């Protein structure tokens, strides 16, 4: 019998644009936006902590509009396929179907998990992202990456699914712990280092010169707004030019090669933002050796991190070997190769041959460098 072949011609052009709204008391805005999805049933997905902090205000704004809340225990341990499955089953049991719209109300764990759930529920429903932490606003809200963790690696199973809209309510930051605000500021300093010298200057002015505390920061309308907006805009500028992480989006990994390895080597004793802060400072110091950053700019990066209350040196006693092992076996990286992103002065990135945003760093050089930084 002859073989039959035919093509399914399917070139997709999709407009996945969405608005990002930053301000205070945004519940009414979220309710207004959901009017566009009048024909859909609202599933608010949140965690056990945010449920009591943020659902009452959203419920008041929604007024007569019916909605169901699906909450799971707060914490990274919930970001699993099993919890996603439980939420899906609960939604199905309550009669949710293709006519659903998900509201992801919470930190990065909620927006990642609820976004992934929305990506696959009846093959995909729209979702509104309402990040309630500075970290989620700074890093998770824009970009469309959704995922859950597995025992093998974090964020290993997921999908690209863009939200219909993002609402960053700065009032939500008022209940965050100082440590968690600092963690979000770690990612914020990363964005300033790689893309915006003026933003870096504004952060320096607040934290280095005025000695602002995390509690004062979240109450400072102008700086909180600037922080949320510039984080989301910088992330947007990188992702729109590289939606599926070919090259440019790699630039957002600044400070993360060492940062992630340190997180693993320390057995997750330090949080992600703290490890990124150390990674940022060390990337600047290594960059100084290569002539990408001057000594004065390295000192500015360190002074900003220090003033925020973030670490900027390898913690005492950490094993260089353990950091090296983690770096060389990064499950999401290419085994055996250390790909490194470098900032160029303050507010830019170094580009390499062919416009690449990352370059390989020899393992021996990295080991020597880390050994020289260990105390």
Ligand X SMILES: NC(=O)c1ccc[n+]([C@@H]2O[C@H](COP(=O)([O-])OP(=O)(O)OC[C@H]3O[C@@H](n4cnc5c(N)ncnc54)[C@H](O)[C@@H]3O)[C@@H](O)[C@H]2O)c1
Choose between 142 and 305: whose C-beta lies nearer to ligand X.
142
In whole angstroms, the minimum distance from the beta carbon of 236 to ligand X comes to: 12
Choose between 163 and 311: whose C-beta lies nearer to ligand X.
163
Helices (H), 94-220: 108-120, 134-135, 178-195, 197-204, 214-219
In whole angstroms, the minimum distance from the beta carbon of 116 to ligand X comes to: 9
Q: Which parts of this chain interact with ligand X (CB under 6 A)?
A: 47, 49-50, 53, 74-76, 79, 106-110, 112, 132-133, 135-136, 139-140, 143, 145, 154-155, 172, 175-176, 180
Burial class (CB in 10 A: 0-12, 13-18, 19+), 7: exposed
Give how far Cα 128 sits from Cα of 56, 101, 118, Å.
17, 8, 10
In whole angstroms, the minimum distance from the beta carbon of 32 to ligand X comes to: 21
Instruction: Count CB-CB contacts under 10 A for residue 244.
Output: 9
Choose between 115 and 287: whose C-beta lies nearer to ligand X.
115
Cα separation, 136 vs 176, whole angstroms: 12
Cα separation, 122 vs 97, whole angstroms: 7
Contact 26, 169 (CB under 8 A): yes
In whole angstroms, the minimum distance from the beta carbon of 121 to ligand X comes to: 18
In whole angstroms, the minimum distance from the beta carbon of 43 to ligand X comes to: 18
Q: Which residue's Cβ has the minimum distance to ligand X?
A: 108
Terminal Cα distance for the chain, rounded? 73
Cα separation, 232 vs 21, whole angstroms: 10
Choose between 133 and 188: whose C-beta lies nearer to ligand X.
133
Residues 6+ apart with CB under 8 A from 167: 21, 26, 29, 30, 33, 128, 129, 130
In whole angstroms, the minimum distance from the beta carbon of 54 to ligand X comes to: 7
Choose between 49 and 373: whose C-beta lies nearer to ligand X.
49
Cα separation, 118 vs 101, whole angstroms: 8
Choose between 107 and 251: whose C-beta lies nearer to ligand X.
107
In whole angstroms, the minimum distance from the beta carbon of 366 to ligand X comes to: 24
Choose between 176 and 323: whose C-beta lies nearer to ligand X.
176
């Amino acid at each position: 019998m002859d073989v039959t072949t035919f093509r399914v011609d399917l070139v997709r052009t999709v407009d996945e644009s969405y608005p990002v709204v930053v301000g205070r008391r945004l519940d009414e805005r979220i309710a207004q936006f959901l009017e566009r999805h009048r024909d859909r049933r609202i599933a608010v997905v949140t965690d056990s902590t945010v449920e009591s902090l943020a659902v009452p205000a959203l419920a008041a704004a929604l007024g007569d509009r019916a909605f169901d809340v699906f909450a799971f225990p707060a914490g990274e341990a919930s970001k699993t396929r099993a919890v996603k499955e439980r939420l899906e089953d609960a939604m199905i049991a309550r009669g949710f179907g293709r006519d659903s719209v998900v509201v992801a109300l919470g930190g990065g764990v909620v927006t990642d998990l609820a976004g992934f759930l929305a990506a696959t529920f009846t093959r995909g429903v729209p979702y509104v992202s309402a990040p309630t932490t500075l970290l989620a606003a700074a890093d998770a809200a824009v970009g469309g990456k959704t995922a859950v963790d597995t025992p093998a690696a974090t964020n290993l199973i997921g999908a690209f699914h863009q939200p219909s809209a993002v609402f960053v309510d700065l009032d939500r930051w008022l209940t965050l712990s100082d440590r968690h605000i600092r963690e979000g500021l770690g990612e914020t300093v990363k964005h300033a280092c790689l893309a915006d010298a003026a933003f870096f200057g504004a952060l320096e002015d607040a934290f280095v010169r005025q000695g602002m505390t995390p509690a004062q920061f979240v109450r400072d309308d102008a700086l909180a707004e600037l922080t949320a907006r510039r984080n989301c805009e910088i992330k947007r500028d990188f992702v729109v030019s590289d939606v599926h992480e070919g090259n440019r989006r790699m630039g957002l990994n600044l400070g993360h090669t060492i940062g992630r390895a340190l997180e693993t080597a320390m057995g997750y004793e330090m949080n992600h933002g703290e490890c990124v802060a150390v990674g940022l400072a060390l990337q600047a110091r290594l960059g100084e050796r290569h002539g990408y950053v001057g000594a004065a700019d390295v000192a500015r990066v360190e002074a900003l991190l220090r003033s925020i209350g973030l670490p900027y040196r390898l913690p005492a006693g950490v094993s260089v070997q353990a950091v090296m092992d983690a770096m060389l076996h990064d499950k999401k990286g290419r085994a055996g190769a250390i790909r490194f992103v470098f900032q160029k002065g303050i507010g830019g990135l170094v580009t390499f041959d062919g416009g690449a945003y990352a370059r390989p760093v020899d393992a021996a050089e990295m080991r020597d460098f880390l050994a020289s930084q260990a105390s």
